[in-house]
Amino acid sequence: MEITASLVKELRERSGAGMMECKKALTENGGDIEAAMEHLRKTGLAKADKKAGRVAAEGLVVLAQDGGKAVLVEINSETDFVAKDENFVTFARAVAEAALKSGAADAEALKSVALADGTVEESRSALVAKVGENVQVRRLVRVDSADTVGAYVHGGRIGVLVELKGGDAEIARGVAMHVAAMNPAYARPEDVPAEFLAKEKEIALGQMTDKDRAKPAEILEKIISGKVNKIVSEITLTGQAYALDTDVTVGEALRKAGAEIVGFNRLAVGEGIEKQQDDFAAEVMKQAGLA
């Protein structure tokens, strides 16, 4: 029997499972929608997609690296409990390795990459059914370079890739650890947007007293530039005190190691996701009819 789009659509609406799972179930059951529905229920895939609307802000950042080629993948779950589940961890590691080998550029392209038991998207849906939570492959960053590439993952929560021109694995990893800890906004002062600098100058001027503003223009400019430069040092990688040796800046540590920063990527689990805040006390009061 031909597996038509309308048949797949009907099964998807009835089961809540993904399109690929529905098509596969129909194919394996000769187009019999009732048998396909039973198959999805038995395998736990029915209603897996119903969980897709839940907020998934926990999870893992996973690394895969082969020399100058490296990827970080953020995979989210609803709770930290599931993020530590063996099935989730195994899936996350497999996805990272597949991402590295496939050359996928982003999380969307990663969905169709093959794993041992189907595509990443098919395996994700199966995992949702198994762990009972929404699971999302959210972000992917990669470096593919002939330069020195350093990587660091802190507790599965923060991952960093650093690319250096020159230097060695030790300084590259050290800088990656620094980025994980200090989260600089930019790599170098020249990367800071002109709009940001103009705004900071405006703020610095607004903070001055009338006595300060009465000073000669060149003195005033030096004072304002000093304040802005201090802020720039605080938000740029090369200007920050090196976390592994606070007597020098990262820029100085790099120069000492014969290296120059090319760029970095930093992923932190759940950043940018609005997390639901549960008020358990209010919920108990509501259930007890006291609110």
* 166-214 pLDDT tens trace: 999 999 999 999 999 999 999 999 999 999 999 988 888 788 877 777 8
Share the mean pLDDT of the chain. 87
Report the pLDDT averaged over residues 277-289. Answer: 52
Residue 1: which pLDDT band, with cuts at 50, 70 and 90?
A: confident
pLDDT for 32 beyond 60: yes
Residue 11: which pLDDT band, with cuts at 50, 70 and 90?
A: confident
Cβ neighbours for 175, distance < 8 A, ≥ 6 positions apart: 150, 162, 164, 237, 250, 253, 254, 261, 264
pLDDT for 75 beyond 70: yes
Residue 60: which pLDDT band, with cuts at 50, 70 and 90?
A: very high
Contact (CB, 8 A) for 70 and 63: yes
Q: Boundaries of CATH 3.30.479.20 in the chain? A: 54-144
d(CA 223, CA 149): 39
Of residues 45 and 102, more confidence is placed in 102
DSSP state of 248: E
pLDDT for 280 beyond 50: no
**Around Cβ 288, how many Cβ atoms within 10 Å?**
8
pLDDT for 157 beyond 80: yes
d(CA 52, CA 173): 36
Record the pTM.
0.74
Q: Residue 207, class by beta-carbon neighbours within 10 Å (0-12 exposed, 13-18 middle, 19+ buried)?
A: exposed
In CATH terms, 5-47 corresponds, of 1.10.940.10, 3.30.360.10, 1.10.8.10, 3.30.70.100, to 1.10.8.10
Contact (CB, 8 A) for 158 and 60: no
- Looking at residue 72, what is its pLDDT? 98
Q: Which residues pair with 72 in a beta bridge?
A: 63, 141
Nearest to 133 by CA among 18, 259, 49, 191: 49
Q: Which CATH code is given to the segment(s) 54-144?
A: 3.30.479.20
Q: Boundaries of CATH 1.10.8.10 in the chain? A: 5-47
- Looking at residue 16, what is its pLDDT? 66
- Looking at residue 285, what is its pLDDT? 52
pLDDT for 253 beyond 90: yes
Report the pLDDT averaged over residues 124-140. Answer: 90
- Looking at residue 51, what is its pLDDT? 57
Report the pLDDT averaged over residues 264-280. Answer: 76
Residue 162: which pLDDT band, with cuts at 50, 70 and 90?
A: very high
Report the pLDDT averaged over residues 108-122. Answer: 93
pLDDT for 156 beyond 80: yes
* DSSP codes joined into one string, 165-228: EE--HHHHHHHHHHHHHH--SBSSGGGS-HHHHHHHHHHHHHTS-HHHHTS-HHHHHHHHHHHH
pLDDT > 90 fraction of the chain, expressed in percent and rounded: 59
* 79-90 pLDDT tens trace: 999 999 999 999
pLDDT for 93 beyond 50: yes
Report the pLDDT averaged over residues 17-24. Answer: 80
pLDDT > 70 fraction of the chain, expressed in percent and rounded: 88
